[in-house]
């Protein structure tokens, strides 16, 4: 496994729409293992392949806390097949939008169809934080960041903060 570099906003590569995976191969599983290692190191609870510069429809998620047993989930070519009319609001953050958080409202429950780590087709229903996290990561596959769900004023303010931090780190 290898650590990968996480791309941060406003990098235009984060706006690329990810391509479907044709076949789950050993190379693809190595990529998912790298994604998981990168996500744990960051630390985060979800990562889409496009966030490391690979515009493929691949997501890894693990909601386990540091002191809990790891429970990784792998989603290849995920599609939401149903979303509840009930909504839930969570404070979201993103490894590609470091240290910035805000409330985002999404469907409270979803059902998704996807391929797993071994390429087997799955369909599952998710609620709570898993539903929110999967929707957040699926947005990445469409070139959407959580800040795109905010008002223009809030989004612009966050992008300015990111650019200010980037310029400060480049001077160091």
Q: pLDDT tens digit string along 54-105?
A: 999 999 999 998 889 999 999 999 999 999 999 999 999 999 999 999 999 9
Whether residue 62 is contained in a domain is answered as: yes
| Residue 5, domain member (yes or no) | no
pLDDT, position 128? 97
88 domain-assigned: yes
Return the half-sphere exposure (C-beta side, CA atoms, 13 A cut-off) of residue 32. 23
So what's the pLDDT on residue 166? 80
Strand pairing report for 109-115 and 73-83: antiparallel
The model carries a pTM of 0.94
Does residue 166 belong to any structural domain of this protein? Answer: yes
pLDDT of residue 61: 98
Helix (H) or strand (E) holding 98: strand 97-107
Q: Is residue 50 part of a domain?
A: yes
2 occurs within a structural domain: no
Q: Tell me which residue range forms the domain holding 49.
A: 12-171
Report the domain count for the chain.
1
pLDDT at 165: 82
Q: Are 94 and 146 in contact (CB under 8 A)?
A: yes
List, by residue number, the catalytic residues. 137
Measuring CA to CA, how many Å separate 163 from each of 14, 52, 78, 156, 167? 15, 19, 32, 11, 6
Whether residue 4 lies inside any domain: the answer is no
Give tens-digit pLDDT for 31-43. Answer: 999 999 999 999 9
Share of the chain above pLDDT 70, in %: 99
Task: Please check whether residue 67 is in contact with residue 93, taking contact to mean a CB–CB distance below 8 angstroms.
Answer: no
At 159 the pLDDT is: 87
CATH of the domain at 133: 3.90.45.10
Domain-located, residue 3: no
């Amino acid at each position: 496994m290898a650590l990968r570099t996480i791309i941060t906003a406003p990098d235009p590569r984060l706006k690329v729409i990810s391509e479907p995976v044709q076949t789950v191969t050993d190379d693809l599983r190595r990529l998912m293992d790298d994604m998981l290692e990168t996500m744990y190191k960051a630390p985060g609870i979800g990562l889409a392949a496009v966030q490391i510069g690979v515009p493929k429809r691949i997501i890894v998620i693990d909601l386990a806390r540091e002191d809990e047993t790891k429970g990784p989930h792998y989603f290849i070519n995920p599609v939401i097949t149903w979303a509840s009319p009930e909504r839930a609001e969570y404070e979201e953050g993103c490894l590609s939008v470091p240290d910035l958080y805000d409330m985002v409202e999404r469907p409270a429950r979803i059902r998704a169809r996807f391929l797993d780590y071994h390429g087997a087709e799955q369909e599952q229903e998710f609620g709570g934080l898993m539903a929110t996290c999967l929707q957040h990561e699926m947005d990445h596959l469409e070139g959407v960041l959580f800040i795109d769900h905010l008002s223009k004023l809030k989004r612009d303010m966050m992008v300015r903060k990111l650019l200010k931090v980037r310029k400060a780190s480049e001077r160091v």
